Structure 1
Amino acid sequence: MTAPVDDTTARLRLIRTPSIGPVSYRQLLARFGSAEAALAALPDLARRGGGGRVPEPPAVALVERERRQVEALGARLLFLGDPDYPMLLAQLDNAPAVLTVRGDLALLRRTPVALVGARNASAAACRFARTLAHDLAAEGASIVSGLARGIDTAAHDGAGTATIAVIAGGIDVAYPPENAALQERIAAHALLIAEMPPGTEPRARHFPHRNRIIAGLSLGTVVIEAAPKSGSLITARLAGEQGREVMAVPGHPSDPRAQGCNALIRDGATLIQTAADVLEQCRPIDARAAVRSPASDWGTPPPEDASDAERARIAGLLGPVPVAVDELVRQSDCAPAVVQMVLLELELAGRLERHAGGRVSQC
């Protein structure tokens, strides 16, 4: 008889299983009560979704090796629902199920503000970012950014030890390489956060996931120089979708690097010139206003089993164009919990892709 594994190992196996993302992880725990029970249910769920393959969880030895590796790096795993998990980030429907963190978690309890911008930023913009980060840190804010070249680097430098760096790869992988010393300094004296397992080299697909964490950790996002369609504008869009403040620093119309910021301001973002402008947007008028706790039940009801007719009806509404889950609920005339279960089954079967803004599409 196989000995049961501890809950931390089971949760890590669940989130490291192919086809299981942050949304399905949360729904599986809500439906089955524990990670071990959810793992046991995967074959049946994938079969119901019509998949030809069953998601294969990693071996216990592999995730235990990851746990030892994290500990050897001086870091720790932080699971969604843990007391130290960032409250603001936990509000997101697609909040990471587990983070690898190294450094001072007390920085999460300051006023978190994201500063992002162009990698090929001008000298003037880098100087402004450095000064703004310094002034915000002096007023009790923590500066959140992505450790990229340009504005991110300037923001981390200006904030000193009051900074939080969110990286796209593993917590032991320095990217870009020239920021290796800065990354180590932040890990030792501030806070370094990664969603990917240790040893993961950053890939293009990882950066949008990192950007959602940057926006999700922060009460507001300030963009300092950004070309149209840049990653910084993705972070700003995600912040807006999450109900957070979106702010931008204006630039000269003839500079392509200012076009993104100027467009944000034209579309309603707050124009920023000083740290006081930022704090006015991010700090509540009433200091007693509290961030809602991740332990509170703000989500949808746990998924419920669906009938074959309901499965066929919901699956028939899906296509290659992403559609909001709320729209599927309306058009299928099924309970939200039933729709969530069918989508979960389809995702585990490899037939569903989730998109930002609570939208889904057929694979």
Structure 2
Amino acid sequence: MERAELAGWLRLSLTPGIGDGAARRLLAAFGLPEGVFAQPHAALREVVSSAQAEALLQPPVGLQTQIDQTWQWLHTTDNGVSRRVVTLGDASYPTSLLEMADPPLMLYVVGAGGFDLTQLGHSIAVVGSRNPTPQGATNARSFARALGEAGLPVVSGLALGVDGAAHQGALDAAGDAPRLATVAVVGTGLDRVYPARHRDLAHRITLQGLIVSELPLGTPPLTQNFPKRNRLIAGLARGTLVVEAALQSGSLITARLTSEQGKEVFAIPGSIHSPQSRGCHALIRQGAKLVESVSDILEELPPLGAPAAAAPSAGNGHPAATTEDPLLEALGFDPVSLDALSARTGWSAAALQAKMLELELEGHISRLPGGLFQRAAST
């Protein structure tokens, strides 16, 4: 993105009184932000109110400082970590957010350079209490790990409690594999980490995932921004798993937004005596799916092996490109662990992991819960 283009998007997003809805109308009428700011008051008045048109004619206070700060942030190098701004007009803007009523104009993204938000088609949001029970924290981490082992990125909010445990579980599942493990959607500018005790976790996420915010750099952790953040968690993920939640909690907001977007809501039941279970029980009464194992989630989602379906058939119901690979023949068509596969082939664990990752990226195998792998069958 050129500096002038960045300046236009920042000015539009920071102009007082211009929300996302008015900004989208302006973009639809005049094209890119530069086109919006080239219009006279009369033309602007045809799309927005007179007060909004007047505000658009004056650069917002502090705009130049924000442009300088954001430009410098974008061009700061950090050991392979990429910093970018994704705007409503970018090809890399996630289509799931475009389907929302109020998609943000800009997304600030930091993370590994090979990842982007269009890779979240099969992701699951894992949310819950900031003060979970010990079992709740364990459930969050173990479910997130199982989801990761099944090939699903985990989306959460980097908060204390369930969010942090979910990110950790997803990172556990990824190990050293170069794949998108988890996405953290935060309620501050990306030049700060909140809560501060998650600084190390945030650093791990930038190496094997992404951290996302719609808020400009310098934005502190303001209470009103976190419910807005929740709509992005719901919007990015294919469904939402609530691990533990009180009756009045942000997790229930995320669940409601997920349901309103026509996506699946999952909830883990708990003790009838625990306040942290009441939110999940309420969701289940309202139609959320009761979850006891990760398979309860996976059976509600489309199959992950879709890329293999495009391969030409060899006439035996399986992709022709995979029939001559000796590792795939050793794998067979039943779920198998790496230890069992090592015994069958005599390959080292390191060699197996490298080859299995290659086959997974090509769509020939799928990861299953429990550290198992299975050959992808043709559909």
- TM-score bin (small chain): 0.7 to 0.9
How far, CA to CA, are the matches of 1:53 and 1:107 in structure 2?
Answer: 33
Partners of 1:42 and 1:54 within 8 A in 2:
no
1:240 match? 259
Q: 1:259 to 1:132 in 2, by over 3 A?
A: same
Cross-structure match for 1:51? 51
Q: Does 1:103 align with 2:111?
A: yes
- 1:1-363 matched pairs, under 5 angstroms: 6-41=4-39, 43-44=41-42, 45=44, 49=49, 51=51, 54-55=54-55, 56-58=58-60, 61-65=64-68, 66-72=70-76, 74-104=82-112, 105-106=115-116, 108-110=118-120, 111-160=122-171, 161=174, 162-283=181-302, 287=306
Deviations 1:229-263 (A, max 9, x none): 20000111111111211111111111111111000
Q: Provide the C-alpha distance between the structure 2 equivalents of 1:72 and 1:43, rounded to a whole number of angstroms.
A: 38
- Range moving further from structure 2, 10-19 or 70-79: 70-79
Structure 2 partner of 1:315: none
Summarize the Cα distance change of 1:226–1:5 in structure 2 as closer, same or farther, 3 Å threshold.
closer
> What is the identity, as a one-letter code, of the residue corresponding to 1:72?
T
1:276 deviates by: 1.4
Contact preservation (8 Å) 2:17, 2:52: no
1:165-200 per-residue CA deviation (whole Å, 9 max, x = no partner) reads: 111001121111111111122123321111111221
Structure 1: distance between partners of 2:3 and 2:202: 34
1: CA distance between counterparts of 2:23 and 2:50? 19
Give the Cα separation in 1 of the matches to 2:40 and 2:256. Answer: 34
Structure 1 pair 156–247 and aligned structure 2 pair: CA distance change class (3 A)? same
Aligned counterparts of 2:285 and 2:129: Cα–Cα separation in 1: 19
Name the amino acid aligned to 2:105.
Answer: A
Q: Residues of 2 paired with 1:249 and 1:192: CA distance?
A: 26
User: Which digits, 9 at most, give the CA deviation of each residue in 1:285-342, with x for residues without a partner?
Assistant: 9948xxxxxxxxxxxxxxxxxxxxxxxxxxxxxxxxxxxxxxxxxxxxxxxxxxxxxx
Per the TM alignment, residue 151 of structure 1 is displaced from its structure 2 partner at its CA by 0.4
Aligned-partner SS, 1:10 = helix
List gaps (5 residues or longer) in structure 1.
289-363
Structure 2-normalised TM-score? 0.70
The 8 Å contact of residues 108 and 142 in structure 1, kept in 2 or not, is answered as no
Rg larger in structure: 2
2:371 match: none
The code of the aligned residue for 1:119 comes to R
Which TM-score applies when normalising by structure 1?
Answer: 0.73
Letter in 1 for 2:145: H
Equivalent residue number for residue 343 of structure 1: none
Task: Give 1:108 shift.
Answer: 4.4
Shift of 1:57: 3.1
Identity of aligned residues (%): 41
Report how many residues are paired: 285
What secondary structure is seen at the aligned counterpart in 2 of 1:165? Answer: strand
Counterpart amino acid of 1:14?
L
Q: Which has the higher contact order (CA 8 A, sep 6+)?
A: 1
Structure-2 separation of matches of 1:108 and 1:133: 20
1:57 to 1:208, Cα distance in 2 relative to 1, 3 A: farther
Q: Which moved more, 1:15-24 or 1:232-241?
A: 15-24
TM-fit CA distance, 1:275: 1.4
Q: Helix, strand or coil for the counterpart of 1:36?
A: helix
RMSD (CA atoms): 2.5
**2: CA distance, partners of 1:80 / 1:154:** 31
User: Secondary structure of the residue that 1:95 maps to in structure 2?
Assistant: coil
Q: What SS is found at the alignment partner of 1:6?
A: helix
